[in-house]
Structure 1
Amino acid sequence: MSNVLILGAAGKIARLAEQRLLAETDAQLTLYLRRPERLGNVAGNREKVIDGDTTKPEQLVAAMHGQDIVYANLAGANIEEQATKVVAAMQQTGVKRLIWISTLGIYDEVPGEFGKWNHQMLDGGYLQTYSAAAKVIEASDLDYTIVRPAWLSNKDEIDYETTQKGEPFKGTEVARKSVAAFVTKLVQDPSQEIRHSVGLNKPNTDGDKPEWY
Structure 2
Amino acid sequence: MTNVLILGAAGHIARHAEADLLKNSQAHLTYFLRNAGRLTITDASRETRIEGDVTDANALSAAMAGIDIVYANLSGRNIEQLAQDVVTAMDHNQVKRLIWISTLGIYDEVPGAYGRWNHQMLDGGYLETYGAAATVIENSDLDYTIIRPAWLTNHDEVDYETTQKGEAFKGTEVSRKSIGALVSHLVTHPDKAVRGSLGVNKPNTDGPKPAWY
What's the CA shift string for 1:152-183, capped at 9, x where partnerless? 00001111000000000000000001001100
Q: Distance in 1 between matches of 2:41 and 2:163?
A: 36
- Residue matched to 1:51: 51
Please give the residue correspondences for 1:4-43 in structure 2 after superposition, counting only pairs within 5 Å: 4-43=4-43
SS at match of 1:59: helix
* Superposition deviation, residue 40 in structure 1: 3.1
Q: Distance in 1 between matches of 2:105 and 2:145?
A: 16
Q: Distance in 1 between matches of 2:39 and 2:113?
A: 39
Please, what TM-score do these two structures have when normalized by structure 1? 0.99
SS at match of 1:30: strand
Please give the residue correspondences for 1:56-205 in structure 2 after superposition, counting only pairs within 5 Å: 56-205=56-205
Unaligned runs of 5+ in 1: none
* Superposition deviation, residue 37 in structure 1: 1.2
Q: Distance in 2 between matches of 1:42 and 1:138?
A: 35
SS at match of 2:67: coil
Matched letter for residue 169 of structure 1 = F
Q: Distance in 1 between matches of 2:123 and 2:113?
A: 15
Please, what TM-score do these two structures have when normalized by structure 2? 0.99
Q: Distance in 1 between matches of 2:165 and 2:208?
A: 21
What's the CA shift string for 1:99-129, capped at 9, x where partnerless? 0000000000000000000001001100000
What's the CA shift string for 1:44-102, capped at 9, x where partnerless? 11100001111111111100010000000000110001000000000000000000000
SS at match of 1:121: helix
Q: Distance in 2 between matches of 1:19 and 1:198?
A: 22
RMSD: 0.7
Q: Distance in 1 between matches of 2:67 and 2:114?
A: 39
Matched letter for residue 203 of structure 1 = P
Q: Distance in 1 between matches of 2:181 and 2:18?
A: 10
**Number of corresponding residues:** 213
Query: Does structure 1 conserve the Cα–Cα contact (< 8 Å) formed by 2:33 and 2:50?
Result: yes
* Superposition deviation, residue 36 in structure 1: 1.2
* Superposition deviation, residue 42 in structure 1: 3.8
**Identity across aligned pairs (percent)?**
66
Q: Distance in 2 between matches of 1:109 and 1:42?
A: 40
